[in-house]
Structure 1
Amino acid sequence: MRQDVAEPQLEAESETGDTVRRCALTRVRLPKQDLIRFVLAPTGEIVPDLKERLPGRGVWVTADHAVVAEAANRNVFARALKAQAKVPPGLAAQVDRLLVEAALGALALANKAGEVVFGTAKIEEAIAKAKVAALIHASDAAEDGCCKLDGRFRAVARGETPAPIRLFSADELGLASGKTNVIHAALIQGGAAAKFLASASRAERYRKGSAAAFAQPSGSDTDKE
């Protein structure tokens, strides 16, 4: 992969109107939601900026665990910033943890908004009323229970159903919901549920390494703010 440093450049837009940036490692221009922004902290350490609010020039890397790990190994942050930069150990794992924490926080907000139901009976009732936007299964849930609910959801839903979310353990679901022994949940259609789905999907794509399709290299790997 090319490692040359391009000159800073203002934001560009894709054909769909999305703001795009170039990955500092792959040199591929992608929509901002498919990348992670990193900045140089006052301590000289590289830190992820998931909310894109931290001051300073940003370095953008594809939202993919393997790509972030490779960017850390190749020290692309220092080259992109043209400055000394210390990369903390386990940066890719740190990003994964932050993405999962953000998704869990969004799930807690959706729950407070009344857009999440728990328990097989309540989930089946919501499915029957065509209110379900997506299903959530604990990563350690038994397959037979998951398949049963998935089948009922597909039978009732119109068109293609979203893949069930299996990003969290039962303990993590319990902490986010304030309940115990949470194995299955269903998202009820609504704004808070939609925000959670976007957050969870981003975390899942990061883990699976399918952040976005490749395009022709172009643009800049840093930003001006």
Structure 2
Amino acid sequence: MIPVTAPDTQADQPLADRMCILTRQVRDEADLLRFVRSPDGVAVPDVNRKLPGRGVWLSLSRAGLLEAMRKKLFSRGFAAETAVPTDLPELVARLLREQAVALLSLARKAGDAVSGFGKVEEMLVAGRAGLVLHAREAAPDGCRKLDRLAGPGTARSQFFEMRELDLAFGRPNVVHAAVAKGALSGKLSAAVRRNEMYEGLTAVAPEDPKRKDD
């Protein structure tokens, strides 16, 4: 597994700092998950951070979500009895993955993404690639050959399965893909990083001790 290696590109609007209901640490929204409480009192994940209503925030971690569920922290965070579906960790994982696949599909429709070893190689040699994606099933030798062409500003990941890359490109057997440098590449890199953080495949930056809540 190759974690995303390039830093996130800033979002269109600056992200605020929020406090995790589990760790009580203050972090950037990019490193957190937002949840809202539905009208019928159920915790609902808001991966796009756009749903109306009061939100509670949790560190971007499947293990942390399970711990928050065990400690019944959603009811405390919302100051009201809140039901939590037992499959919430799987739902969050699915939504995060779908978000990233949708961004890759958007990049493909915009003409910013290519697939296939030859086209990815061509984009890398030209220095245009901002993000390279290898399917989880990709052969190590092929990944190494392409990664050797990647410059220091090119992110790489082997997080997604071939079926997800197939879905994004609308064709079968997509093993390698690349997205050109630019806004979409930055947003997709950030989305992939959020997936990897959630699954514990890349570390969360330590909190700023000056801003830690006591």
TM range, normalised to the smaller chain? 0.7 to 0.9
What stretches of structure 2 of length at least 5 have no aligned partner? 1-13
Taking the aligned partners of 1:212 and 1:93, their CA distance within structure 2 comes to 24
Are 1:102 and 2:95 an aligned pair? no
Equivalent of residue 133 in structure 1, options 112, 115, 130:
130
Off by >3 Å, runs of 4+ in structure 1: none
Q: How does 1:75-224 map to 2 (within 5 A)?
A: 75-153=72-150, 157=151, 160-208=152-200, 210-216=203-209, 217-218=212-213
The CA deviation string for residues 118-163 of structure 1, in whole angstroms up to 9 with x for no partner, is: 111111111111111121000111111111111122xxx2xx2444
User: Is residue 130–residue 155 contact of structure 2 (8 Å, CA) maintained in 1?
Assistant: no
What stretches of structure 1 of length at least 5 have no aligned partner? 1-16, 220-225
Equivalent of residue 69 in structure 2, options 67, 72, 78:
72
User: Is residue 155–residue 189 contact of structure 2 (8 Å, CA) maintained in 1?
Assistant: no
One-letter identity of the residue aligned with 2:204: A
User: Is residue 124–residue 149 contact of structure 2 (8 Å, CA) maintained in 1?
Assistant: yes
Higher deviation after alignment, 32-41 or 187-196 = 187-196
Per the alignment, residue 3 of structure 2 pairs with none
Q: What TM-score does the superposition give when structure 1 sets the normalisation length?
A: 0.82
Shift in Å, 1:194: 2.1
User: Is residue 123–residue 129 contact of structure 2 (8 Å, CA) maintained in 1?
Assistant: yes
The alignment yields a C-alpha RMSD, in angstroms, of 1.7
The CA deviation string for residues 43-96 of structure 1, in whole angstroms up to 9 with x for no partner, is: 211111112222221111011111111111111010122211111012122111
Per the alignment, residue 48 of structure 1 pairs with 45
User: Is residue 15–residue 29 contact of structure 2 (8 Å, CA) maintained in 1?
Assistant: yes
SS of equivalent residue, structure 1 residue 164:
strand
Higher deviation after alignment, 45-54 or 69-78 = 45-54
Per the alignment, residue 222 of structure 1 pairs with none
Equivalent of residue 29 in structure 1, options 26, 32, 35:
26
Number of residue-to-residue matches in the alignment: 198
User: Is residue 72–residue 91 contact of structure 1 (8 Å, CA) maintained in 2?
Assistant: no
Taking the aligned partners of 1:18 and 1:41, their CA distance within structure 2 comes to 24
SS of equivalent residue, structure 1 residue 50:
coil
One-letter identity of the residue aligned with 1:168: F
Larger Rg: 1
Q: What TM-score does the superposition give when structure 2 sets the normalisation length?
A: 0.86
Shift in Å, 1:108: 0.3
One-letter identity of the residue aligned with 1:60: W
One-letter identity of the residue aligned with 2:114: V
Percent identical among aligned pairs is 39
Shift in Å, 1:212: 3.2
SS of equivalent residue, structure 1 residue 196:
helix
Taking the aligned partners of 1:131 and 1:43, their CA distance within structure 2 comes to 48
